[in-house]
Amino acid sequence: MKKIATAAQIIAEKPFYLEQAEELHIAKTAYHNGLPILLKGPTGCGKTRFMQRLAWELTRPLITVSCHDDLSTSDLIGRFLIKGGEAVWMDGPLTKAVRTGAICYLDEIVEARKDTTVVIHPLADDRRELPIEKLGETLTAPPEFMLAISYNPGYQSVLKDLKQSTRQRFVSFEFNYPPPELEARIVREESGIEQPLAEKLVQMATMTRSLKDSGLQEGASTRLLIHAGKLIRSGIQPRTACKATITETLTDDHEMLAALEEITSSLF
């Protein structure tokens, strides 16, 4: 059994996030109306940072669960563990979030087992309830609790997609990579490099994204550009930094690696 990856945090400092289409305002309004939210978009485009900023704006703790194909209902709800010869109940992250009025963010929800997603249904409609069958108990979520889920439509398939019975419970947001001028600003702010260099990194990312479905599964994400910028700021040569953070990360195919090297050479 894989260990469930979770993180619970109080966001103390204001996370840097550039709003594009009133998504923060809409998400906060959804929260105050007891509505769950769904984020969809490619990897590294800002979904997690959005959730961190939202948690900061709402002054609520954020519990993040990284979903995987072995994620079970017990992983989310909780289970009995043997301690000192006794069976002791341990809350899972979803139960903890409901009990404490936190924001529970289920990242890449489609990676979880199908039967796992059903457990969120009563939490995601007007009941706002979490049945805990092993305890014979049903928790009612307090007003402070919020449920958020995300997935990458680029990776979805017939076997990995959200059913309409799940999707239609949520207020949905589509995320994508920001326009070049905004993305350059994000890379500059997050990595500490100068604007012209940030613009070149964004130009490189745009070129790699044009190769999606022509040899690459995904183009360079904003996250990778920030990684490259941080290496460059620390003294690594731009071409070397781009190779380590972008080129080698995106593909193992020798022909595609050569194509990405050409792109890097043309810019740096």
pLDDT digits (tens, 9 = 90+) for 129-156: 999 999 999 999 999 999 999 998 866 5
Length of the chain (residues):
268
Q: Are residues 25 and 141 in the same domain?
A: yes
Taking the C-alpha atoms of residue 68 and residue 58, their distance in angstroms, rounded to an integer, is 28
| Residues 23 and 90 occupy one common structural domain | yes
Closest CA to 173 of 17, 15, 22, 23: 23
Give the pLDDT score at 3.
47
The answer to whether residues 58 and 110 belong to one domain is yes
List the CATH number of the domain containing 36. Answer: 3.40.50.300
125 and 218 both lie in a single domain? no
Q: 194 and 167: one domain?
A: no
Same domain, 153 and 37: yes
pLDDT number for residue 5? 52
Do 184 and 167 lie in one domain? The reply is no
Instruction: State residue 258's pLDDT score.
Output: 95
Final residue before a domain boundary, out of 159, 174, 189: 174
Mean pLDDT throughout 84-98?
A: 93
Q: Inform me whether the pLDDT recorded for 163 exceeds 90.
A: no
136-152: b or e for each residue (b if 16 or more CB lie within 10 Å)? eeebebeebbbbbbbbb
DSSP assignment string, 75-109:
HHHEEEEEETTEEEEEE-HHHHHHHHT-EEEEETG
Give the range of the structural domain holding residue 104, as residue numbers without chain letter.
Answer: 5-174
Q: Tell whether 73 and 190 lie within a shared domain.
A: no
pLDDT at 4 over 70: no
Residue that is last in its domain, among 117, 140, 174? 174
Interatomic CA distance for residues 194 and 164, integer angstroms = 45
Residue 146 shares a structural domain with residue 194? no
Mean pLDDT of 79-100: 92
- Using the 3D structure, point to which of 174, 197, 223 is the last residue of a domain: 174
| Residue range 25-33: mean pLDDT, rounded | 98
* pLDDT tens readout for residues 165-210: 888 999 999 999 999 999 999 999 999 999 999 999 999 999 999 9
Check residue 235 and give its pLDDT.
Answer: 97
Do 43 and 121 have their domain in common? yes
* One domain for residues 53 and 156: yes
| One domain, residues 117 and 192 | no
* Dihedral class, residue 156 (left if φ above 0, else alpha if ψ from -120 to 50, else beta): beta
CA pair distance 118, 89, nearest whole angstrom: 22
CA separation for the pair 157, 69 (Å, rounded): 14
Tally of domains in the chain = 2
Q: Which residue has the tokens 């990405």?
A: 260
